Amino acid sequence: MGVIGAGAIGLLLASAYEQEGADVMVFTRRPAQACRLNKEGIRVDGLLSYTAEVKANTTNEAIPMSFDLLIVAVKSYDVATALQSFFQKNMAVRQWLFIQNGMSHLDIISSLQGDIYVAGVEYGVKKSTDTCVEVTGLGRIRVAPFRLFTTESFVETSFLQIERACHYKEMLEDKLIVNVCINPLTALLGVKNGALLTEPSYKQAMRTIFREAISVLNRDADWLMLWRRVVSVCQKTSDNTSSMRADYEVGRRLETEAIMGYLLKEADRKKKAAPCIAFLSHLLVNRNDH
Amino acid sequence: MGVIGAGAIGLLLASAYEQEGADVMVFTRRPAQACRLNKEGIRVDGLLSYTAEVKANTTNEAIPMSFDLLIVAVKSYDVATALQSFFQKNMAVRQWLFIQNGMSHLDIISSLQGDIYVAGVEYGVKKSTDTCVEVTGLGRIRVAPFRLFTTESFVETSFLQIERACHYKEMLEDKLIVNVCINPLTALLGVKNGALLTEPSYKQAMRTIFREAISVLNRDADWLMLWRRVVSVCQKTSDNTSSMRADYEVGRRLETEAIMGYLLKEADRKKKAAPCIAFLSHLLVNRNDH
């Protein structure tokens, strides 16, 4: 099997499948990282602890191959580019697994051949070096088929807790709601996830974003379950720095398009108001050199 | 005459009246600052340049006196406390001048005896030490009578550009609109005033706040004049750090109540929506030790 993207999530999944006995090829953008992965393997520490041997290659040099399972674990805004480089190499893929925040990548993946799955990862993971992942929170990976007529069963690894979900849209929406409540605010405010609960004023701000999001997604009926989920994730990850905050602080590109952009397009389409989500997305521009 | 509050604005006005020939007493909270002011006077530099000799005292030790003009230049949330300490001393005041951001102090001052004026300062000023003020932008001070039956003419100084305005409410609203557009955003984003114009996304966020503010104040008819004012102040002060940003960064109390709180109360009273102003006020809590 193969994994495109060697960030924290990509490395965690690659190492878990390798521990299960799979022959794993990791595709990364930087040759230096591929080189180190070939030499050192993937070191997992924190709440899980093991080392996995993997093969690694850069996306550009990817040679024609066929995969039982190809996991795409790049940022949502890189999905299109990652897929293009693979189409050019004529790779055969039986099962795809897409792990991205937000829902804006769904348009892109709908034209693919093969069985497609989408997933939401609820583990807390942090890349400490190019070959090392720290697991800071145990959770689950929810996997749902992207098309109803998917017949084959998904290639699993018992090394991570993988749960099957029936409805990909609802599953991704659940995760989107959690993300839009926690990520942008922690990034903008420069606080840890837990501060959104301990500071009552921040909690109110988070509640405002939550209300707009569930209204846009027509999920008002589930609001209590969803709000409890947001609070529970905030609590469990209270000492963590959200991925968007980490990206914001070092000036990396943000997943605003995948998270807030998707909600704003839906709001527009459904003629619903989401003023604070729009406002927040305007504020979340990398500061660069202002 | 007397000046309560020895921040940048208080010191600037005290020094200007002294240069005009007035006998000036500055009231400050900290004995150390009173002591230095008595010894060193007020040094003004930057675009204006002179030194003024003043007498200084702490608010607590203030001895009974009478004033032709008493300028109150403390933060809006300190007006009530400042007035209380003066009432206890039985001071006679012929004219009051209140210089505060926002409009929430108007309730408090309406019960005072004497002629009352309110002002909006459009000079750029920065306190560099306890006795030194830097003038970074020349503007004007707009002064309006708080009550219509004010008969005597206001004690002026030709040392600063003072303009008379007829309608205090409109005048304070004009300033409130500029403040609510610039101060909270620069504080939260940690940027200079000019960034709100150079970064298109921030400009959109500022426009959102602007629209809500003029709607709440029923000033929609004047929107073009008011928006030009906001942009012009942003341009003139592009290299400046707003007072709220400075307060936010060192963890001082913010004038959110006077600026956003007033607008939110008005919105509530008039059954108007101001979701982004409310959201912004929730985000603007001093981070302390999160």
Per-residue pLDDT tens listing for chain B (290 residues): 999 999 999 999 999 999 999 999 999 999 999 999 999 999 999 999 999 999 999 877 767 788 999 999 999 999 999 888 777 777 888 899 999 998 989 989 988 888 899 999 988 899 999 999 999 888 889 999 998 666 667 888 888 899 888 899 999 999 999 999 999 999 999 999 999 999 999 999 999 999 999 999 999 999 999 999 999 999 988 988 888 998 999 998 898 999 999 999 999 999 999 999 999 999 999 876 44
Q: Which residues of A touch B195 (CB under 8 A)?
A: 290
Cα(A45)–Cα(B184) distance, integer angstroms:
42
Q: Domain boundary residue among A133, A166, A199?
A: A166
Which residues does B162 contact at the CB level (< 8 Å), separation at least 6?
A: B140, B141, B143, B156
SS3 A115: strand
The dihedral region occupied by A115, where left means phi > 0, alpha psi between -120 and 50, and beta the remainder, is beta
Distance CA B14, CA B157 (A): 10
Place of tokens 């878990």: A16
Using CB atoms, pick whichever of A190, A202, A275 lies closest to residue B276.
Answer: A275
pLDDT of A289 over the 60 cut: no
Q: Which two tokens stand for residue A51?
A: 């080392």
Residue B288 lies in a domain: no
**Minimal C-alpha gap between A188 and chain B (Å):** 7
Indicate if A63 and A143 belong to the same structural domain. yes
Q: Does A134 lie in the same domain as A23?
A: yes
Instruction: Give the pLDDT score at A86.
Output: 77
Q: How far is B73 from chain A (nearest CA, A)?
A: 29
Interchain contact B239–A (C-beta under 8 A): no
pLDDT of residue B289: 43
Measured between CA atoms, the residue of chain B closest to residue A194 is B290
Number of Cβ within a 10 Å radius of residue A58: 17
B179 close to B102: Cβ distance less than 8 angstroms: yes
ipTM of the complex: 0.85
Residue closest to A8 by CA, chosen among A103, A172, A128: A128
Instruction: Report the distance separating Cα A79 and Cα A82, nearest Å.
Output: 5
Same domain flag for B274 and B175: yes
Structure tokens at B283: 């985000």
DSSP H or E segment with residue B145: strand B141-145
Written in H, E and C, the secondary structure of A177-244 is HHHHHHHHHHHHHCCCCCHHHHCHHHHHHHHHHHHHHHHHCCCHHHHHHHHHHHHHHHHHCCCCCCHH
DSSP state of B259: I
B166, B190, B205 — which closes off a domain?
Answer: B166
pLDDT at residue A111, rounded to an integer: 83
Radius of gyration from C-alpha coordinates of chain B: 19
CATH number of the structural domain spanning residue A278? 1.10.1040.10
How many CA atoms lie less than 13 Å away from B46 in the CB half-sphere? 17
A44 shares its domain with A127 = yes
The last residue of a domain, from among A166, A195, A226: A166
Rg (CA), chain A: 19
Asked whether the beta carbons of residue B287 and residue A192 sit closer than 8 angstroms, the reply is: no
Catalytic residue selected from B55, B89, B175, B271: B175
Flag whether pLDDT at A148 surpasses 80: no
Classify residue B290: in a domain, yes or no.
no
CA dist., res. B59 & res. B63, Å (int): 9
The model's pLDDT over A219-263, given as tens digits with 9 standing for 90+, comes to 999 999 999 999 999 998 898 888 899 889 989 889 899 999 999
In a domain, B152, yes or no: yes
Q: Are B256 and B284 in contact (CB under 8 A)?
A: yes
Q: Clarify whether residues A203 and A261 are in a common domain.
A: yes
What A128-131 contacts at long range (C-beta under 8 Å, 24+ apart), as own/partner pairs, is: A130/A6, A130/A30, A130/A32, A130/A33, A130/A36, A130/A37, A131/A11, A131/A33, A131/A36, A131/A37, A131/A40, A131/A41, A131/A42, A131/A43
Q: Best interface-test mutation with B: which of A198, A208, A279 has the largest number of B CBs within 10 A?
A: A279
Rounded distance, CA B69 to CA B155, Å? 7
CB A231 within 8 A of CB A198: no
Question: Is there a domain that residue B75 lies in?
Answer: yes
* Token pair recorded at residue B212: 């809500």
DSSP calls for B264-279: HHHHHHTT---HHHHH
- E-strand stretches of chain A: 2-4, 25-28, 42-46, 50-52, 55-58, 66-72, 92-99, 115-121, 124-129, 132-137, 141-145, 162-164
A/B interface, count of CB pairs below 8 Å: 64
Beta carbons within 8 Å of B203's beta carbon, 6+ residues apart: B196, B197
Q: Is A204 within 8 Å of B282 when comparing Cβ atoms?
A: yes
Taking phi over 0 as left and psi of -120 to 50 as alpha, with beta for the rest, B134 belongs to beta
What total of structural domains would you count in chain B?
A: 2
Residues B88 and B216 in one domain: no
Nearest CA in chain A to B280: A205
Chain B nearest-CA distance from A203, in A, is 9
B279 and B208 in a common domain: yes
Q: Is A241 left (phi over 0), alpha (psi -120 to 50) or beta?
A: beta
Same domain, A218 and A160: no
Say which amino acid occupies A46: G
- The answer to the question of residue B72 being in a domain is yes
Q: Are residues B227 and B116 in the same domain?
A: no
Same domain, B49 and B128: yes
Is residue B129 domain-shared with residue B182, that is, in the same domain? no
User: Are the C-beta atoms of residues A27 and A1 closer than 8 Å to each other?
Assistant: no
- What is the CATH number for A120? 3.40.50.720
Judging contacts by C-beta atoms under 8 Å, the chain B residues touching residue A198 are: 290
Grouping H, G, I as helix, E, B as strand and the rest as coil, residue A98 is: strand
Residue A71's beta-bridge partner residues? A3, A97
Decide if A202 and B280 are in contact by the 8 Å CB cutoff. Answer: no
By the CB < 8 Å criterion, does A197 face chain B?
no
Does the residue A290 lie in any domain? Answer: no
A187-227 pLDDT per residue, tens: 999 999 999 999 999 999 999 999 999 999 999 999 999 99
> Chain A within 8 Å of B257 (Cβ-Cβ)?
no
- Kindly identify which residue of chain A lies nearest to residue B203, measuring between CA atoms: A282
Residue B78 to chain A, least CA–CA distance (Å): 22
State which residues form the domain around B162. 2-166
Q: Judge: A283–B205 Cβ closer than 8 Å, yes or no.
A: yes
Is B127 in the same domain as B187? no
Active site residue B175: yes
Token pair belonging to A45: 């520490």
Assigned domain for A289 exists:
no
A157 three-class SS: coil
* Tokens at A72, concatenated: 């795409």
Q: A194 to chain B, minimum CA–CA distance in Å?
A: 9
The number of beta carbons lying within 10 Å of the beta carbon of residue A30 is 12
**DSSP line for B33-49:** HHHHHHHH-EEEEESS-
* Residue B21 is assigned to a structural domain of this protein: yes
pLDDT at A276: 98
Give A151-154's long-range contacts (Cβ < 8 A, gap of 24+).
Answer: A151/A115, A152/A94, A152/A95, A152/A115, A154/A95, A154/A97, A154/A115, A154/A117
Q: What pLDDT is recorded for position B278? A: 98
